[in-house]
Amino acid sequence: MLKEPIKFYPILKEKIWGGEKLMQRLQKKSDKKNIGESWEITSVEEDISIVSTGIEIGKNLTELIKKYKGSLVGEAIYSVFGDKFPLLIKFIDAKEALSIQLHPNDALAKKRHNSFGKTEMWYVMQADKNANLIVGFKKKVTSNLYKEHLENKSLLEILNRDIVTEGDVYFIPTGRVHAIGAGVLLAEIQQTSDITYRIYDWERQDDKGNYRDLHTEEALDALDYKVLESYKTTYKKTINKSETIVSCPYFKTNMLQINGEVTINHSKKDSFVIYMNVYGNVEFKYNKTQKMSLDIGETLLIPNSLNKFTITSKDNAKLLEVYIE
């Protein structure tokens, strides 16, 4: 059994809409100026996380799962996913707006792409003045009305747009139209899938004058036209206590805000636990004497077999605590 937390080397992704906040604010290492994503934990093919610390340094995540199986990820999780890690964990910096998009559900993704669907959530870490997110429709929309606005390039008229600030959370189930606006830095937790249906990309061209592909037809039977009064997720913030933010069949995410020392006991869970540091600095103490720090912008994977430890912070740190129930 593996009895230590695991850090991985981040996988940095250049994007046409990316910026420099991942380097400037989260201390990621790159000389590029358009880094849009930092993949923190991933087993997506050709982008599998590599261990950066401890006794398994240099091994990739798939190798770890093959070696440790349920003692790493959880027995029930291993029985369903095998050597595939079920979540993809990211930090995202949008210097420019991302495309307006949506993701297919499990059934559609399996049929078309032999993939899982993509349910996800966002936690806003920082937002420039008036920065916004597009999430869902702002009024009742039919398929015909949607297609009419798409053809007339007036899609923005029917979409919900929220100005956001640090701490805002949005849950994005499959089918819900969405886009990250310019000036937003956020943490993203999602199913392991890279299937996206892009429906509008702001008439944007790359440095070679090319437009990115749109997936107009594919999106039609994947769209969810449901309208909500508010798309923002509300949650409690209690010092030194895990408070649920999002709970769905694919993952559960808690907010753990720490001031001082907290004793953690995950012995009743049959799951790995991920900690994403979204504010401040913390120190994990495990196996009585061993310690590991976690700075803002860093991510830690706790094996299922390591279920008792303490976390300490002197600066009111905020962690996203992620696992599968």
The helix, strand and coil proportions of the chain, stated in percent and rounded to the nearest 5, come to: 15, 40, 40
Verify that 191 and 130 share a domain, yes or no.
yes
Question: CA distances (Å), 203 to each of 11, 100, 209, in order?
Answer: 28, 11, 11
Question: What radius of gyration, in Å, describes the C-alpha atoms of the chain?
Answer: 20
Q: Which two tokens stand for residue 177?
A: 């139209």
* 139 and 112 inside one domain: yes
Domain-located, residue 60: yes
Q: How far separated are the first and last CA of the chain, in Å rounded?
A: 21
Range of the domain at 304: 242-323
Same domain, 80 and 51: yes
pTM score of the predicted model: 0.96
Residue 68's H or E segment, with its range, is helix 61-68
Q: Where are the beta strands (DSSP E) in 152-201?
A: 159-163, 169-172, 178-180, 184-191, 197-200
- The two structure tokens encoding residue 224: 């969810």
On whether both 300 and 176 belong to a single domain, the answer is: no
CATH number, domain of 276, equals 2.60.120.10
Name the helix (H) or strand (E) containing 279.
Answer: strand 273-279
pLDDT tens series, the chain, 325 aa: 999 999 999 999 999 999 999 999 999 999 998 999 999 999 998 999 999 999 999 999 999 999 999 999 999 999 999 999 999 999 999 999 999 999 999 899 999 988 888 999 999 999 999 999 999 999 999 999 999 999 999 999 999 999 999 999 999 999 999 999 999 999 999 999 888 999 999 988 877 788 889 999 999 999 999 999 999 999 999 999 999 999 999 999 999 999 999 999 999 999 999 999 999 999 999 999 999 999 999 999 999 999 999 999 999 999 999 999 9
Query: Are both 55 and 104 inside the same structural domain?
Result: yes
